[in-house]
Amino acid sequence: MALVNPHGKDKKLKIKLLEGKELEEEKKKAKTLTEVRTTSRETGDIIMLGGGGFSPLDGFMGHDDWKGVCDEYKMADGTFWPIPITLSTSEGNADSVKVGQEVALVDEETGELMATMKVTEKYKIDKAHECKQVFKTDETEHPGAAKVMAQEEVNLAGPVKVLSESIFPKEYKGVYMKPAETRKMFEMKGWSKVAALQLRNPMHRSHEYLCKIAIETCDGVLIHQLLGKLKPGDIPADVRVSAINTLVEHYFVKDTCIQAGYPLEMRYAGPREALLHAVFRQNYGCSHMIIGRDHAGVGEYYGPFDAHHIFDEIPAGALETQPLKIDWTFYCTKCDGMASMRTCPHGKEDRMLLSGTKLRKMLSEGDDVPDHFSRAEVLTILRAYYEGLTEKVEIKTHKYSEGE
């Protein structure tokens, strides 16, 4: 059997990253262009466009695509897409750019030239509407909604030519991979049925259990963690990479897992983000997407299994990549092992519910971590990280991370 097709009508990866002579010539031209500064979120989107992770997109969305994605999960041409991929700039900067003109996209934090874009449209949006549709709230306490509400006033649309992958190829060598690279690895291993595990936390026992359930029915698992910017209190990617490598080395059968990373930052859009994760995992070659409790959630904005339900609400055939829905998982003292609500008959008093938020809170406060919560080899790495911090960040738990 073959791997799933890339997303979109053409079923091909749309790679926007330039190489060789074409890259050098575009960099020279970019020096003559008006600059548009990009946020860290927009920079991550540019890199995903470059490697084909956002196929079939060739750039930032126009108004009709934005509206269709917000309201109907589809772009103007009918292609399924769950979250707007947009670029904003100030009204003054937008006024200096004409439709049809090329601009240089420059990361506002590093000053690095990331891409050029031919502007095909300038438009304004109702930010609160986008937030309510995508995040179910426009409260700025929600980190994703806060980012959208803080966007500049005018969106610019158009196809991009990507000139850089930023720090990722060097800083995460061997982990940062583009879709063509993961697809090649799967094909070399003879895998066609591949499940993706989305990670923004180090793997605890529930993550390990989810992977092992998937390995029972699939050829292998892609442990796919995000390498972009996180919210305060989250554990940096390099620490997570080390912890995951240790876990895979000691507790998984050889050649059943591949660890890789991608350059986005979290939007914390819960069920909508679960759909986006499935879209780009299809581009990476994964036939299944593991969807557990409170996928891509934050606080109590979403129900613990809203991300399960949303896959039943989208049109049939919208995605080739299918959800692998798994119930609440935990360690049960009576079962004497990992279990889920579907397999364990015992009561709450016998269950140790596991979550990344709870683990981070215990480690940040120097508390003892209960037996069976995480593997000892992983805890050694995480404790060393927390002991080295000069500033502590308060970690707030919520009812889902506490098992309520």
Give residue 387's pLDDT band: very low, low, confident or very high (50, 70, 90).
Answer: confident
On whether both 179 and 156 belong to a single domain, the answer is: no
| % pLDDT > 70, the chain | 96
Q: Are residues 148 and 69 in the same domain?
A: yes
Say if residue 130 is in the same domain as residue 224.
Answer: no
Nearest to 71 by CA among 57, 82, 61: 82
For the cut 90, the answer to whether the pLDDT of residue 334 exceeds it is: yes
* Digit-coded pLDDT (tens) for 16-32: 999 999 999 999 999 99
DSSP 145-184: HHHHHTS-SEEEEEEEEE---TTHHHHTTTTB--HHHHHH
Residue 3 backbone dihedrals phi, psi, to 5 degrees: -70, 160
Q: What's the mean pLDDT in 284-310?
A: 95
The beta-strand segments (E) located in 70-152 are 87-89, 102-107, 113-118, 121-123
pLDDT band at 396 (very low <50, low <70, confident <90, very high): low
Domain's final residue, options 137, 164, 191: 164
Q: pLDDT tens, 236-245?
A: 888 999 999 9
Amino acid at 366: G
| Confidence check: pLDDT of 233 > 80 | no
CATH of the domain at 214: 3.40.50.620
Domain range enclosing 89: 20-164
Residue 396 lies in a domain: no
Classify residue 2: in a domain, yes or no. Answer: no
pLDDT at 366: 81
Catalytic residue check, 201: yes
d(CA 305, CA 315): 19
Residue 13 included in any domain: no
Q: Does residue 403 sit within a domain? A: no
Query: Which tens digit of pLDDT belongs to each residue from 96-139?
Result: 999 999 999 999 999 999 999 999 999 999 999 999 999 999 99
Backbone angles phi, psi at 118, to 5 degrees: -90, 115
- Please say whether the beta carbons of 156 and 89 come within 8 A: yes
User: Burial, 292: exposed, middle or buried (Cβ in 10 Å; 0-12, 13-18, 19+)?
Assistant: buried
Q: Residue 56: is the preceding peptide bond cis (ω within 30°)? A: yes
Is 214 inside a domain boundary?
yes
360 CB neighbour count, 10 Å cutoff: 21
**pLDDT of amino acid 399:** 53
Which residue in 200, 272, 293, 375 is the catalytic one?
200
**pLDDT over 90, % of the chain:** 81
397 band by pLDDT with thresholds 50, 70 and 90:
low
200 carries an active-site annotation: yes
Per-residue model confidence as pLDDT tens digits over 53-75: 999 999 999 999 999 999 999 99
Spatial distance between the Cα atoms of 260 and 50, rounded to a whole number of angstroms: 17
| Same domain assignment for residues 146 and 178 | no
Does one domain contain both 25 and 148? yes
Tell me: the pLDDT tens digits for 168-192? 999 999 999 999 999 999 999 999 9
**Please, where are the H alpha helices in 118-262?**
127-134, 143-149, 168-171, 179-189, 205-217, 237-251
pLDDT in tens, 346-369: 999 999 887 777 787 888 888 888
Q: How many domains is the chain partitioned into structurally?
A: 2
Which residues partner with 59 through β-bridges?
159
Residues 29 and 95 in one domain: yes
Residue 119 placed within a domain: yes
Answer yes or no: is 400 within a domain: no
User: Distance between CA 134 and CA 273 in Å, rounded?
Assistant: 8
- Determine the pLDDT at residue 401: 44
Residue where a domain stops, chosen among 111, 146, 164: 164
Together in a domain, 209 and 244: yes
Pair 255, 175 in one domain = yes
**At 357, is the secondary structure helix, strand, or coil?**
helix
Domain shared by 282 and 334, yes or no: yes
Q: Are residues 56 and 140 in the same domain?
A: yes
Torsion of the alpha carbons at 18, 22, 23 and 25, rounded to the nearest 10: -150
User: What CATH number does residue 89 fall under?
Assistant: 3.10.400.10
Whether residues 195 and 143 share a domain: the answer is no
Task: Tell me the residue length of the chain.
Answer: 404
Query: Is residue 185 located within the same domain as residue 150?
Result: no
Distance (Å, rounded) from C-alpha 120 to C-alpha 157? 6
User: Does 332 score more than 60 pLDDT?
Assistant: yes
Average pLDDT along the chain = 93
Is 82 part of a structural domain of the chain?
yes
Q: Taking residues 206-223, report their average pLDDT.
A: 96
Q: Tell which of 119, 148, 164 closes a domain.
A: 164
